[in-house]
Structure 1
């Protein structure tokens, strides 16, 4: 089973932003050592518990600290930007790190309404134009504008020998259809979706085979998981994420603080719904459930998101999963 990592660059209570960023740099190096296929950085804006608003800036450092693992954005929130600028930035990364750059695209705001307004005054209009923005980005990356188009006279330089690999990220039937229409590999966020995920992924693969019979569809399934030596330890670690999920106006709390918190009935219901999409347990249980999800979705690759207060626990979770899968 191919494994990858999605890093939201969490900030733990008591840690500095610099420490959180340095942990991501170290984790990417560890991921390469452990055999993970790719390492994606998420984009968020003004969320106290998450640290990265600009994946491309952080990816530049990750590329310099690693040698073979693919690195990328999961995802660039395209409605906030002009496609030419994104093409320039990821062409630059692809020139620095040939055949290693993934450019995931999404349309979520990534923050509050106020942060969205500060980033892009016409965000809702840009969301409606999302398919056209993807078209323009693809044309900039491939020099695909018609000769009579104004943009045919410009290139997002530097032009790399191997262009970034574009992906479309989503959680819905609509995003799956758009990925087929734009001829893009698809990443489905199982940990975020309330929809019938397996059905959505299967519809993507079916539509892809009908549209491009000579090409194989490719799906990455993003899953939230926490793995520890024992079931009890994993459940203890998950308390931090549970409290953080119901109060995301703060960094990820410690397990001690989470253990002492009195969850309201509403908060308990929120945690219960979230747990239905999470895998928490010892190595054997986690790997078994990951393999089961891969089979249910018919996914080609599993991308794991792990958030704990302790960086060492987060790193150990990825180690246990990788090592158990290799046994």
Structure 2
């Protein structure tokens, strides 16, 4: 089973932003040592508790401090940007770190309406234009436009020896169909979806149209996971993530609370029920339990790879979670 990491670059209540970003770099280094297939970092804008607004900057930093693990965006929020600039940036990264760069593409705003308006014009119109933007981006990455295309004489330089590998990320049938129509590998965000992912992925597999003759469909499923030495410790560590998610839903600012802060946070009966529902979507437990749940998830979704999202207050608890999963899955053997 291939396992990878999706990092949302969380900021804990006792951290500075710089400390949170350095923790992300150290996580990527650990991922390489532990045998994870790839490390992706997400893009968010003006959201309390999340540090990374520019994955391309972090990827340059991380690439310079690792040597072999695949690294990428999870995801570049394409409606904010011109495809040409995205292709230039990721071709540059692929030139610096040959054979290691993934370009995850998404269409979420990644922040508030105000942040969206500050970042880009006509965001909703660009959502509608997403299929055309994806097609243009792929042409730039392949450096091969139709001869009559308006950008036929434009190259997204530098042209790397090994092009960035584009992935489409999403949580809906619309995103799955867009990936299938363009012959792209698809990453389904189970951890942030309320929909039946099995139907979505099945539709992707059934409608996939290869862009190249030898191409096959490929699926990643991303899931929120907390692993610790015992079930009791995993439940304890997870309380920080769960309460933080509740705080964010209520519009309360701040970083990921400590276990003690989370336990002292007052919850209504409705909020307690909501937290229990949130837990049902997560994988929480000891290494064997989590590993078997990951295998079950892979079978359920017919996934080629599972991508793990782990948010904890303590960077040590986060690293320990990934370490235990790696050891149980024999990733580094």
**What band does the TM-score fall into relative to the shorter chain?**
over 0.9
Instruction: Write the deviation string for residues 25-72 of structure 1: whole angstroms up to 9, x where unpaired.
Output: 111111000000000000000111100001000000111111110000
Could you list the runs of 5+ residues in structure 2 that have no partner in the other structure?
A: none
Match runs of 1:61-100 below 5 Å: 61-100=61-100
Instruction: Write the deviation string for residues 84-111 of structure 1: whole angstroms up to 9, x where unpaired.
Output: 1100100000000011000000000001
The Cα of 1:9 is off from its aligned counterpart by 0.4
Question: What is the CA–CA distance in structure 2 between the aligned matches of 1:153 and 1:214, rounded to whole Å?
Answer: 28
Could you list the runs of 5+ residues in structure 1 that have no partner in the other structure?
A: none
Match runs of 1:86-125 below 5 Å: 86-125=86-125
3-state DSSP of counterpart to 1:188: strand
Aligned length in residues: 327
| Structure 2 residue 56 is the aligned partner of structure 1 residue 56 | yes
Per the alignment, residue 221 of structure 1 pairs with 221
Question: What is the CA–CA distance in structure 2 between the aligned matches of 1:134 and 1:22, rounded to whole Å?
Answer: 32
Instruction: Write the deviation string for residues 180-206 of structure 1: whole angstroms up to 9, x where unpaired.
Output: 011100000111111111121122112
3-state DSSP of counterpart to 2:205: helix
Instruction: Write the deviation string for residues 245-275 of structure 1: whole angstroms up to 9, x where unpaired.
Output: 0112221011000011121234223323321
Q: Which moved more, 1:292-301 or 1:144-153?
A: 144-153
Match runs of 1:271-310 below 5 Å: 271-310=275-314
Using structure 1 for the length normalisation, give the TM-score.
0.97
Using structure 2 for the length normalisation, give the TM-score.
0.95
| Structure 2 residue 306 is the aligned partner of structure 1 residue 313 | no
Out of 261, 274, 277, the position equivalent to 1:257 is 261
The Cα of 1:214 is off from its aligned counterpart by 5.5
Question: What is the CA–CA distance in structure 2 between the aligned matches of 1:198 and 1:70, rounded to whole Å?
Answer: 26
Question: What is the CA–CA distance in structure 1 between the aligned matches of 2:214 and 2:77, rounded to whole Å?
Answer: 31
Question: What is the CA–CA distance in structure 1 between the aligned matches of 2:70 and 2:113, rounded to whole Å?
Answer: 32
**Root mean square deviation of aligned Cα:** 1.5
Question: What is the CA–CA distance in structure 1 between the aligned matches of 2:2 and 2:89, rounded to whole Å?
Answer: 28
Per the alignment, residue 3 of structure 1 pairs with 3
Q: Which moved more, 1:281-290 or 1:149-158?
A: 149-158
3-state DSSP of counterpart to 2:318: helix
Question: What is the CA–CA distance in structure 1 between the aligned matches of 2:213 and 2:173, rounded to whole Å?
Answer: 21
Q: Which moved more, 1:147-156 or 1:278-287?
A: 147-156
Instruction: Write the deviation string for residues 255-296 of structure 1: whole angstroms up to 9, x where unpaired.
Output: 000011121234223323321210000101100100000011
Question: What is the CA–CA distance in structure 1 between the aligned matches of 2:100 and 2:214, rounded to whole Å?
Answer: 25
